[in-house]
């Protein structure tokens, strides 16, 4: 019986794999026309300066409105785009759209806000990213200080020398580079010294632990202190409660991003958020515990 169960679950597993491969190839096909059909859009999530209680910048997050499937989340199509090599085209779309939006906000009279975009390993290995960024900034008349790039630790595992060379070119143009999901990768700390990094982003999972477990402060504090001694900025991701914000302020974290301060939102909503931020953030900022 155990044997036939094993056989059945193997059959089931094969079936699943086949379904997934089919699913993947249909997403792959749809990706090709999604750009032309304007099915992608960027949403923007605020990053809050915890000392000043102001909007320090934003992160652009890609959204796909599929005509039949509806909203397709990034985890369902970015790995497919990476696998099929389409991701570089997608990244170009994201960077162009981010620059177009920065320019549109400026023309609408919004104070200058930086936009961070996420890139994949392939973007850094294939080489032309810095040229593309340089040209796109010129096209839209955007300062490199307003565009930032987020990479993950796991990218270093690819072709280290090429990745570092691309990042250095971007850095020398004035583009700030952040390490996303910091603390979840497998790479050693040695690369941090070689990386032209401006900022570490504490992964959401560690921020979650801040008000869940008694030793939850240990890793966030370690990353804040590491950032301090490296002379780089530190941003906490996925802040959902005032308590988490409080603890991050107490440990000296520079910025926070998360549902507590604002969800990723369409561009128009984001500009309204920025306009209302002086009033609204006053209510959201926790009192400093050392303020007594
Ligand atoms: P990420 O860059 O680490 O982005 C943060 C993710 O956390 C976003 O998910 C965001 O919506 C979510 N988030 C923000 N605050 C909170 C919070 O308080 N609670 C919770 N539970 N979640 C929060 P999203 O938009 O689904 O994106 C997921 C991942 O997909 C991103 O992680 C990034 O790795 C990737 N991604 C998104 N847009 C792009 C893109 O344009 N290009 C590439 N290559 N990857 C992208
Ligand atoms: Mg990111
Ligand atoms: Mg992240
Ligand atoms: Mg993440």
How many residues are given for the chain?
292
CB neighbours (10 Å) of residue 271? 19
Q: Considering the chain, what percentage of its residues have pLDDT values greater than 70?
A: 93
Query: Could you read off the pLDDT of 93-103 as tens digits, one per residue?
Result: 999 999 999 99
Please give the torsion angle defined by the CA atoms of residues 280, 283, 286 and 291, in that order, rounded to the nearest 10 degrees. Answer: 110
Q: What is the pLDDT of residues 178-232, one digit of tens each?
A: 999 998 876 667 778 888 999 999 999 999 999 888 899 999 999 999 999 999 9
3-state secondary structure of 209: helix
- Residue nearest atom 6 of ligand 1, based on CA coordinates: 238
- Closest ligand, as measured to the CA of 43: 1
pLDDT, position 110: 97
Pocket perturbation via mutation, ligand 1, pick of 42, 61, 155 by most ligand atoms within 8 A of CB: 61
What the block records as the tokens of 238 is 């996925």
Within 6 A (CB) of ligand 1 lie: 45, 61-62, 73-74, 78, 94, 118-120, 150, 180-181, 204, 237-240, 258-259, 264
Q: What pLDDT, on the 0 to 100 scale, is given for residue 23?
A: 76
| Average pLDDT of the residues in 257-262 | 98
Q: Whose CA is nearest to atom 29 of ligand 1?
A: 74
Please give the number of the atom of ligand 1 that sits closest to the Cα of 180.
3
**Per-residue confidence band for 244, with pLDDT thresholds at 50, 70 and 90:** very high
- Taking the C-alpha atoms of residue 195 and residue 168, their distance in angstroms, rounded to an integer, is 8
Query: In which region does residue 252 sit, left (phi positive, over 0), alpha (psi from -120 to 50) or beta (all else)?
Result: left
Q: How far is the CA of 201 from the centre of ligand 3 (A)?
A: 7
Q: CB of 253 within 8 A of CB of 33?
A: no
Q: What is the pLDDT of residues 62-79, one digit of tens each?
A: 999 999 889 999 999 999
ipTM for the predicted complex comes to 0.98
């Amino acid at each position: 019986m155990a044997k036939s169960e094993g056989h059945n679950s193997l059959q089931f597993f094969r079936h699943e794999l086949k379904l997934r491969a089919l699913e993947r190839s249909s997403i792959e096909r749809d990706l090709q026309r999604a750009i032309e059909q304007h099915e992608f859009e960027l949403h923007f999530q605020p990053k809050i300066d915890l000392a000043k209680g102001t909007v320090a910048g934003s992160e652009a997050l890609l959204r796909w409105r599929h005509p039949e499937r509806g909203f397709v989340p990034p985890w369902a199509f970015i790995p497919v785009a990476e696998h099929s090599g389409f991701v570089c085209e997608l990244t170009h779309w994201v960077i162009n759209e981010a620059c177009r939006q920065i320019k549109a906000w400026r023309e609408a009279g919004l104070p200058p806000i930086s936009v961070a975009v996420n890139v994949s390993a392939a973007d850094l290995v294939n080489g032309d990213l810095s040229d593309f960024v340089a040209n796109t900034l010129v096209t839209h008349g955007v300062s490199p200080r307003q565009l930032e790039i987020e990479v993950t630790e796991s990218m270093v595992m690819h072709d280290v020398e090429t990745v570092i060379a691309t990042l250095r070119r971007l850095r020398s143009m004035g583009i700030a580079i952040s390490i996303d999901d910091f603390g979840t990768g497998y790479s050693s700390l040695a690369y941090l010294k070689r990386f032209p990094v401006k900022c570490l982003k504490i992964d959401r999972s560690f921020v979650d632990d801040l008000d869940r477990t008694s030793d939850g402060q240990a890793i966030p504090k370690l990353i804040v202190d590491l950032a301090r001694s490296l002379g780089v900025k530190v941003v906490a991701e996925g802040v959902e409660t005032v308590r988490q914000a409080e603890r991050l302020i107490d440990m000296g974290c520079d910025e926070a991003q998360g549902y507590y301060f604002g969800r990723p939102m369409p561009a128009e909503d984001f500009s309204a958020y920025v306009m209302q931020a002086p009033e609204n953030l006053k209510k959201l900022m926790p009192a400093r515990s050392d303020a007594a």
